[in-house]
Homo-oligomer: A and B are copies of this chain.
Amino acid sequence: MEKTLQSELIYGGRRIKLYRDEVELPSGKKTYREVVSHPGSVAVVPIVKEGEVLLIKQYRYAIKGLIYEIPAGTLEKGETPEQCAMREMVEETGYLPRKLEKLGQFYPSPGVMNELMHLYKASQLVRRVPEIGTPPHEESIEQVVTLRLSQAVDMIRKGEIVDGKTICGLLWVVFGIPKVEQY
């Protein structure tokens, strides 16, 4: 446990806030912690049909490059993770899933940021938008691709998929996180 002595808001942005907190460690020593506050997010592994996954190729300004990702997005005010997952699926892929299963949830960067990401598997996809819609929030989606799950895992192995949530989601779905007895 670390006790917050003082919390200073350094920056309050549209999506993230940065705090610099003075804290007291269990030893009694004082130090500072920088925390990026984030409203939380969802990521969705969209299964087009048995053994096939849909990925998006997207420009990410933070890393100045195009990367393959599963559809994902930030929770909006008053939105449940399930609603957010459905919205992001339509916005980013043009498909609405008839089936949405929660796989789990995780912290992508717990050392820096409080973002909690909810991970889903989506299937029975129904096309909602004739072509990929215009994503809001100035997203730059370049391409939606359909791949065999085995191809996608091979791309992880080769270093062609380098997005953390996408690696988590694909491995989770491919290997199904079987029960203990099974391996």
Contacts and interface: CB of A to CB of B under 8 A. Distances in A.
Interface in A131-183: 138, 140, 150-151, 153-154, 156-157, 159, 162-165, 167-168, 171-172, 174-175, 177, 179-180, 183
Interface string A51-80: 000000001111110010100101000000
A74 B112 CA distance: 11
Given A10-B10, A138-B25, A38 B112 contact: yes
B10 A34 contact: no
Number of chain copies forming the complex: 2
A126 interface: no
A2 B105 CA distance: 31
A35 interface: yes
A83 interface: no
A100 interface: no
Contacts of A112: 15-16, 36, 38, 62, 113, 115
Nearest to A117: B164
Interface string A13-52: 1111010110101100101111110100000000000000
Interface of A: 1-2, 10-11, 13-16, 18, 20-21, 23, 25-26, 29, 31-36, 38, 59-64, 67, 69, 72, 74, 104-117, 138, 140, 150-151, 153-154, 156-157, 159, 162-165, 167-168, 171-172, 174-175, 177, 179-180, 183
Contact of A67 (B107, B154, B156, B174): B107
